[in-house]
């Protein structure tokens, strides 16, 4: 009798253990609990700001080339879309900051053009930026119908710090923590997609690769 019950008991023990074991990471590199949070409710993409706010002289001075940037949310990877949409939603509902997308996907030709000309926008050459893979976004604030990009004011700097904190909660890397500050930039390094600086290798959690993959 004991011999007959042994396989049954072993099967029950293994089944119970499997239920209580820590679940494996998903293909996107995130714990299933975080993934379930994102999957619980697919947020609609934020409403775009009026086109005129991107074409002012002040915006061109602070961030050259913004007027011609791609702001199509659909060209971002779906995982980044949802993470960023949640950050935007919480920035507005919890902290009173309305955020807008300055630039998402960036073509290799545009990346190279910005690299050669506007060093305040990027230091990464074509092929070395997360923007070209739909894995990065540059964002700013909309206040009194004007874009606020510079972090010189206390209001903007406080907002960017909140933005960076929320972005980290959703597994995004914030450019404001780099030596060369890029306060509006976030990128999804732990996405399971190839590393732009080393296409053969996928990003993994805690990867100590170089900064400024923007």
pLDDT tens-digit profile of 140-163?
999 999 999 999 999 999 999 999
Q: Which helix (H) or strand (E) holds 198?
A: strand 198-202
**pLDDT on residue 198:** 53
DSSP-derived pairing of the beta strands 136-143 and 173-174: unpaired
From CA 73, how far away is CA 15, in angstroms rounded? 43
**Residues 163, 139 contacting (CB under 8 angstroms):** yes
**pLDDT on residue 27:** 44
Residues of the chain with pLDDT under 50: 1-29, 31, 33, 200-212
**pLDDT on residue 192:** 73
Task: Indicate whether this model's pTM tops 0.85.
Answer: no
Cβ–Cβ contacts within 10 Å for residue 20, how many? Answer: 6
**pLDDT on residue 190:** 81
CATH number of 30-202: 3.30.1380.10
Residue found under tokens 């996405």: 191
DSSP code at position 196: T
Give 41-73 pLDDT, tens digit per residue: 889 999 999 999 999 999 999 999 999 999 999
């Amino acid at each position: 009798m004991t011999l007959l019950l042994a396989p049954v008991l072993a099967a029950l023990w293994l089944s119970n253990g499997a239920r209580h074991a820590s679940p494996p990471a998903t293909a996107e590199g995130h714990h299933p609990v975080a993934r379930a949070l994102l999957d619980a409710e697919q947020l609609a993409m934020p409403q775009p700001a009026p086109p005129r706010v991107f074409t002012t002289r002040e915006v061109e001075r602070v961030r050259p080339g913004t007027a011609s940037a791609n702001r199509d949310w659909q060209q971002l990877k779906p995982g980044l879309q949802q993470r960023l949409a949640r950050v935007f939603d919480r920035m507005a509902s919890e902290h009173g900051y309305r955020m807008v997308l300055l630039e998402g996907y960036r073509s290799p030709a545009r990346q190279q053009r910005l690299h050669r000309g506007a060093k305040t926008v990027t230091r990464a050459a074509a092929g070395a930026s997360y923007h070209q893979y739909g894995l990065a976004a540059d964002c700013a604030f909309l206040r009194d119908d004007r874009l606020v990009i510079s972090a010189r004011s206390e209001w903007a700097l406080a907002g960017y710090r909140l933005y960076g904190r929320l972005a980290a909660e959703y597994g995004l890397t914030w450019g404001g923590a780099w030596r060369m500050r890029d306060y509006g930039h976030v990128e999804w390094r732990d996405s399971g997609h190839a590393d732009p600086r080393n296409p053969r290798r996928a990003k993994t959690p805690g990867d100590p690769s170089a900064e400024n993959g923007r």
